[in-house]
Amino acid sequence: MRPGRLGELLGIELPIIQGPFGGGLSSVELAVSVSEGGGLGSYGAHILLPEEIGDLVARLKAGTDRPFAVNLWVPLDGESELQPSETDLATHVARLRPYYEELGVPAPTAADVAAWPDFDAQVDALLAAAPPVISLVMGLPPRRLVEEARRLGIALIGTATTVDEAIALEASGVDAIVASGSDAGGHRGAFLRPVRESLVGTFSLVPQVADAVTVPVVAAGGIADGRGVTAALALGADAVQIGTGFLACQESGASAVHKETLGTPGARTTVLTRLFSGRTARGIPNSFVRDMAAHEDHVPPYPVQNALMQPIRRAAGTQGRPEYVNLWAGQSAALAQESPTAGSYLADLVNEADRLLKS
């Protein structure tokens, strides 16, 4: 495998990016291990306060002198101003109260729901910390971020779920684009059209994006082994981004019950749901998703639902209760290896892809 255009842009040896995980699923150890192995390690920082971002980047820089990426979510219009009324909040809390009581955690208050990091302040903190790469999902980068990143020599990666989003991202000034197909696990990043109109499969999306833009294209979604890597490169991708496969690795921040579900027959089925965060995301269905299915259209939007569900998700992970954990996973989750180290998983990806490319 050659570094390709993305490798030349970022200074990495392998055209492989470890997907950034939000909600505490990322870890410094995982990102460092992937970067040290020649890929691009990533850390999802969208829930971090601005003052925490500088410390994060410092720890990543202390762990590796190779490139790594820090990821932020671009807020949707009006999202940062969302605050439910007391009556609405009481209704939403009542819906989840049986789960708070069963897990022994207090229900969030209005103050908990309102306490969410400011995106502009996160951007300022990230630029001040100057990681080698900044990646974004959910939207276009602010103009000042593009200009300052360029001045500082920071590479900027955007994420598209449709061809139109990819074209808009290139016009905004990003250096590379992740083409994230509907196969991908975790949150859908559609920002020009509703999610239901932006569910393009990875291997349909990648060649169309490669034809539509001139910057390097990274294929993401449903890639978990060397076969997927080879297929993505054959379809015109310059590199791949792998999420679920790295989520199963020992170094990731996923709970033990989450990791134990990946790579099993139970991971063959995934669904799109708003129940855990208020934004549409792909994961393995469990009893919570099934029992609450009738409320899909009634839960509040992100970040309100995310704040309401945070104590449930954390307690369930700690208590070993997979029926209440957000089991984010892509459509190739059953291919995830059983508890490998990130280094061994990365080596397996490269070796299998090399064999296929040579044949």
Give the largest CA-CA distance in the chain. 64
Q: What is the pLDDT of residues 248-287, one digit of tens each?
A: 999 999 999 999 999 999 999 999 999 999 999 999 999 9
Average pLDDT, the chain: 95
Question: Please, are residues 58 and 48 in contact by the beta-carbon 8 Å criterion?
Answer: no
Does the pLDDT of residue 18 top 70, yes or no?
A: yes
Mean pLDDT, residues 115-132 taken together: 94
Q: Is the Cα dihedral 20, 156, 215, 160 positive or negative?
A: positive
Residue 123: pLDDT over 90:
yes
pLDDT band at 182 (very low <50, low <70, confident <90, very high): very high
DSSP 65: S
> In the chain, which ranges are continuous DSSP H helix?
4-10, 28-36, 50-63, 86-103, 110-114, 119-129, 143-152, 163-172, 202-212, 226-234, 244-247, 256-261, 287-291, 304-319, 342-358
pLDDT at 347 over 70: yes
The reply to whether the predicted model has a pTM over 0.75 is yes
Collapse the DSSP code of 17 into the 3-class scheme (helix H, G, I; strand E, B; otherwise coil) and give the result: strand
Q: Which of 37, 28, 120 is nearest to 75 (CA)?
A: 120
| Whole-number Å distance between alpha carbons of 241 and 205 | 14
Bridge-based pairing of strands 155-160 and 133-137 is parallel
